[in-house]
Amino acid sequence: MKGLIVKDLLLIKENIKQLVLFVLVFVFIGLQGNQILVFVPAFLSMMMFLSTFSYDDYNKWNSYAVTLPNGRKNIVKAKYIASIFLSLVAILLTYLLVILFGVANHNLNLEETTATLLGCWSAIVLLQSIMYPLIFKLGIEKGRIFLLVLVFGISALIGLLFQNIKVSLSSEVIHFLDNYLLIILPLLMMIILYISYKVSAKIVQKKEF
């Protein structure tokens, strides 16, 4: 499996160099005022990683990969691990730079940055968790279209629901979320990611390439 991760990272090695540049630029812009922008590099890392699926599809890599020892298991595992690794690197790098710049400029707002980056990481993990099974099932081209439909569909649905139903959270719930969200959210995302991995593994186990 290690080899498959190496292969994916080699595929986007040029992009990874650009990613470091993006982190620098967006941290710099973010610290000028709009700190919410620091999430951009991590999102870019997710998009970059998606291109490895396109390269794979184009050269029918998966058909070849399943002939390698433990191929079916490992192609799924490697995609999840490599993409989590990449987004974590992007986020940690951003975090580190924000702290460095913040300390240097005496305007460090750690709480806001932590919340922004954690929210961003959760969103990335959620998207990947929905996307990967779809891509393994349908291929990158169809998977992408399906994902768009799904994301817009869910957003519209949630929007409609909240418009028509008045949600009133009691102050206790808000207080609870305020205190524990930083722990609950990552845990929840890990569970979702794990389920998604299991679904993908099942799809690939039976798939004909």
Partner 1 sequence: MNAIEIKGLVKKYDEKFQLGKLDLTVPKGVIVGLIGENGAGKTTLLKAILNIIQTDEGTIKINGRDNHEEKTKENIGVVLDNMFFPELLTAKDIELAMRGIAKNWDTELYYNYLKEFSLPLDKPLKALSKGMRKKLEIATALSHHPDILILDEATSGLDPIIRNEILDIFLNFIQDENHTIILSTHITSDLEHVADKIVFIDQGKIVLDKDRDELIDHYGILKCDPDKMDQVKKEDYVCYKKNKYDVEFLVADREKIRKKYRDFIVDKMTLEELMLLMIKGVK
- Interface residues with partner 1 (CB under 8 A) are 1-7, 10-11, 52, 55-56, 58-61, 63-64, 66-71, 74, 206, 208-209
What does DSSP assign to residue 39? Answer: G
Comparison of 23 and 78: residue with beta carbon closer to partner 1:
78
Cβ atoms of residues 87 and 121 within 8 Å: yes
C-alpha 175: how far from chain center: 28
Q: How far is the CB of 144 from partner 1 (least distance, A)?
A: 18
Comparison of 2 and 17: residue with beta carbon closer to partner 1:
2
Comparison of 3 and 159: residue with beta carbon closer to partner 1:
3
CA atoms within 13 A on the CB side of 86: 33
Q: How far is the CB of 182 from partner 1 (least distance, A)?
A: 35
CA distances from 204 to 20, 113, 174, 179 (A): 33, 38, 41, 40
Q: How far is the CB of 202 from partner 1 (least distance, A)?
A: 14
Question: Of 109, 117, 111, whose CA–CA distance to 23 is shortest?
Answer: 117
Comparison of 52 and 94: residue with beta carbon closer to partner 1:
52
Q: How far is the CB of 4 from partner 1 (least distance, A)?
A: 7
Q: How far is the CB of 208 from partner 1 (least distance, A)?
A: 4
> What Rg, from alpha-carbon coordinates, does the chain have?
19
CA distances from 182 to 111, 114, 118, 201, 203 (A): 11, 9, 8, 29, 32
Comparison of 46 and 78: residue with beta carbon closer to partner 1:
78
Query: What does the alpha-carbon distance between residue 38 and residue 48 come to, in Å, rounded to a whole number?
Result: 17
